[in-house]
Amino acid sequence: MTRKIVAILSDTHAGHKLSLMNPATILWEDAIGAAEQGRDPAPYHPSLTATQRYLWDCYQEDLCEVAALADDDPLVLVHNGDITQGAKYPEHLVDETEAAQVEIAAWNLMPWLELPNLKAVRIIHGTQSHEFGRGSAARLVVGRLRGERAGLDIADMRHALFSVDGVLVDVAHHGPSPGIRNWTNGNQLRYYLRSLMLDAVLGGREPPRVVVRGHFHEYVREWLAFTAAPPRDYQADMLMVPGYTMLSHYAVQATRSASTQACGLVALEVVDGRLAGIHPFWRRLDLRTKESL
């Protein structure tokens, strides 16, 4: 039996005080400030906010779940975009430098590198405003991680079509929204998925078995099947993967004051060339301040 696990996470927005940060992260003091004090810049561990401590606990729990699921079988890690916060929305940054965001992003992924069965890491480009343009943050994090574990297969790309023992997995950061009403959640994903599958079939290509998107910080799963001519059944799962970040003031506005936030990741299990399971590890937090008056 051959078995592989593909862990997919997204939207870690490293560098923001409401986003994931490894407590082991090492940053460097401002060189000008240190020079004014007549000394060289010193390394330091940035302090985690209460939100970051919560996110890190969730992240560690999910990582352990994936490690237990994989056991000794090969594991691939995919980060599906917005690996850093970027420069467009600079409020509440841990450090104002781009270098610090890249460093935090790399430290966030380092616990995965400690897993001996990790075989590859792929980082998908996200939103330009969050990654300093043209996938810069992803490329810089790839370079940083390559120095941490020699020989590990690490790369970045904008839009991926992975073949996992023959199971096609289409991964990109941007896609349809989950819906603006709970009774319409998933509708746009199904329309998007059907169009993508028909494009492949009409073009003489095999449609993907799994389609993964991010960006909206939500977990949604939809399934679609149809029969095409000549008679053949096609089926696919579409996943919207949540992130590890909470709502900034801008995000509150953009989501029309969403009251809850999802965080977590998803693992795909492929056994003997077939999709054997989709394993979501996630939770939802109520963001409202509760008070009796």
* Any domain includes 32: no
* Any domain includes 35: no
Q: In CATH, what number is assigned to the domain containing residue 181?
A: 3.60.21.10
pLDDT, one tens digit per residue, over 112-121 is 999 999 999 9
Closest CA to 250 of 130, 94, 96: 130
* Buried/exposed 62-75: b ≥16 CB within 10 Å, e otherwise: bbebbbebbeebbb
CA–CA distance, 174 with 159 (Å, rounded to integer) = 9
* Any domain includes 36: no
* Any domain includes 61: yes
* Any domain includes 27: no
pLDDT, one tens digit per residue, over 211-268 is 999 999 999 999 999 887 667 889 999 999 999 999 888 788 878 788 899 999 999 9
pLDDT of res. 185: 82
Q: How many domains does the chain have?
A: 1
* Any domain includes 39: no
What's the pTM?
0.95
Domain that holds residue 101: 3-22+49-286
pLDDT, one tens digit per residue, over 145-162 is 999 999 999 999 999 999
* Any domain includes 31: no
CA–CA distance, 192 with 175 (Å, rounded to integer) = 8
* Any domain includes 282: yes
